[in-house]
Amino acid sequence: MKAFMDKDFLLSTDMAKTLYHDFAENMPILDYHCHINPQEIYEDRKFDNITQVWLGGDHYKWRQMRSNGVDEKYVTGDSTDREKFQAWAETMPKLIGNPLYHWSHLELRKYFGYEGYLNGDTAEEVWNLCNAKLQEDSMTVRNLIRQSGVTLICTTDDPVDTLEWHKKIAEDDSFEVQVLPAWRPDKALNVEKPTFAAYIDQLSKVSGIEIKDFASLKAALCNRMDFFASMGCCVSDHALEYVMYAPATDAEVDAILAKGLKGEAVSKEEELKYKTAFMLFVARQYCERGWILQMHYGCKRDNNAYMFEQLGPDTGFDCINNYAPSAQMADFLNALSATNEIPKTILYSLNPCDNAAIGTIIGCFQEKFPGKIQQGSAWWFNDHKVGMIDQMTSLANLGCLGNFVGMLTDSRSFLSYTRHEYFRRILCNLLGGWVENGEYPADMKALENIVKGICYNNSVKYFGFKLDEVK
């Protein structure tokens, strides 16, 4: 029997061990999509206790605590941090087979030196150990980033944001890690939301452009893109129900937008037509500017209406949506390709059943740059062992795995960089298994290039950041 989470954790063959320890283990991390707070980076926050850094905002853990029957008081309620930690510790032993069990113990080992395992009985020991460690200067936010080997972080930012914290970080010579904004214009896209009109008014004020039709909206968005670009932004991200394609005339789009600006309800057909026009416009802008288009889709959000009223969004009540017409996504990309305006694009579906569709669609639009159109890493409910294996196997079967841009944290936690270790171990075990089985030669030069590429180098080249590849 293998020891629990030893140095060869998840590595089942000699070749897997070689690929991980020789090539993957010490590669830096480029976190091109996450939700961490740049203010906390600038202020170099020091956390008071493990609950603040581990459970604050972590809806992955909240879902599992609720699944274990933990009262909401101990999840997001007014109980003490110690009580919340105890509730999480008592949940942990039930999570056999869940990536949270692995992630949590990887974090305890890497950042706190704890080699045991967390449960209700060890909670006090772990609480005291972690809290004592967190008081050390080595555990400030900036130092957590440094010891994780991170070279660059892209946060997630709204077009109306001032980006003041990014500016302050950029001007601070004492911190060597690049922290760049990423453009996330969901609120300008979601014309069906009751908050749309108020948001567009805000966008008007920030851009200095009165938004009265689609042309003026596009001008306001370009104004803000210019500002974001001046702060180093070259990455966009969009949260979509699915990648739609419902073309409309300019007059139709103006009429739909007019309803949205007046706070009037729009039909589903009108919503899709507006969103199609919006996405085609921004995608063309990204192509012109050399930005990357990321589209995350396939999520049905805020399913528990009662809890949404209590807690708001991003609190653990989302699920997979299985409606994603792949033909429309292909038509959307085709519309951009027809005018030679398709940007580098990364597609993420929350539904693993979409893997094959994505794998075949991206192959229709590859050109000029290796892996120009990407299938993104296994996302959210899929970033577990099986999900990662399935995503990479599908991409290998239908596309070019060697050009894959690899893992991202998509996290709100400064301890979650161990997810890259988790991913790299799974990657090396997958590749190592193919070699051991005679499906790929033991060509160590080629394998080194593949592993280092997927871990880091491919994303350096793909995004065009001012970073050096690791040779």
CATH of the domain at 87: 1.10.2020.10
In terms of residue numbers, what domain contains 126? 47-139
CA distance 432 to 15: 5
pLDDT of residue 412: 87
Does residue 306 sit within a domain? Answer: yes
- My answer on whether 186 and 134 are in the same domain is no
Residues in the chain: 471
Average pLDDT for runs of 10 along the chain of length 471: 96 98 98 96 97 94 98 98 98 98 98 97 98 97 97 98 98 97 98 97 98 98 98 98 98 98 97 98 98 98 96 96 97 98 98 98 97 97 97 98 96 94 98 98 98 98 97 93
Does residue 256 sit within a domain? Answer: no
Does residue 281 sit within a domain? Answer: yes
Quote the radius of gyration of the chain (alpha carbons, Å).
23
CA distance 471 to 469: 6
H helices then E strands: how many in the chain? 21, 9
* Strand partners of residue 296: 239, 348
Answer whether 244's CB lies under 8 Å from 183's CB: no
Does residue 13 sit within a domain? Answer: no
pLDDT of residue 209: 98
Secondary-structure breakdown of the chain: helix, strand, coil percentages, each rounded to the nearest 5: 50, 10, 40
CA distance 463 to 346: 11
Does residue 151 sit within a domain? Answer: yes
Does residue 326 sit within a domain? Answer: yes
What secondary structure does DSSP assign to 415-463, as a single string? TTTHHHHHHHHHHHHHHHHHHHTTSS---HHHHHHHHHIIIIIHHHHHH
Answer whether 246's CB lies under 8 Å from 280's CB: no
Residue 457 belongs to domain with CATH number: 3.20.20.140
- My answer on whether 67 and 90 are in the same domain is yes
Put simply, whether the predicted model's pTM sits higher than 0.75 gets the answer yes
347: left (phi over 0), alpha (psi -120 to 50) or beta: beta
- My answer on whether 87 and 151 are in the same domain is no
- My answer on whether 129 and 146 are in the same domain is no
- My answer on whether 60 and 172 are in the same domain is no
- My answer on whether 135 and 151 are in the same domain is no
- My answer on whether 325 and 281 are in the same domain is yes
- My answer on whether 130 and 271 are in the same domain is no
> Which alpha helices (DSSP H) does 290-403 contain, by range?
305-311, 326-338, 355-362, 385-398
Q: Hey, how many other C-beta atoms are within 10 angstroms of the C-beta on 382?
A: 21
**Number of independent structural domains in the chain:** 2
- My answer on whether 146 and 237 are in the same domain is yes
CA distance 23 to 428: 9
User: Angle CA(132)–CA(86)–CA(108) in degrees, nearest 5?
Assistant: 45
Does residue 2 sit within a domain? Answer: no
Does residue 30 sit within a domain? Answer: no
- My answer on whether 177 and 95 are in the same domain is no
- My answer on whether 302 and 393 are in the same domain is yes
- My answer on whether 326 and 433 are in the same domain is yes
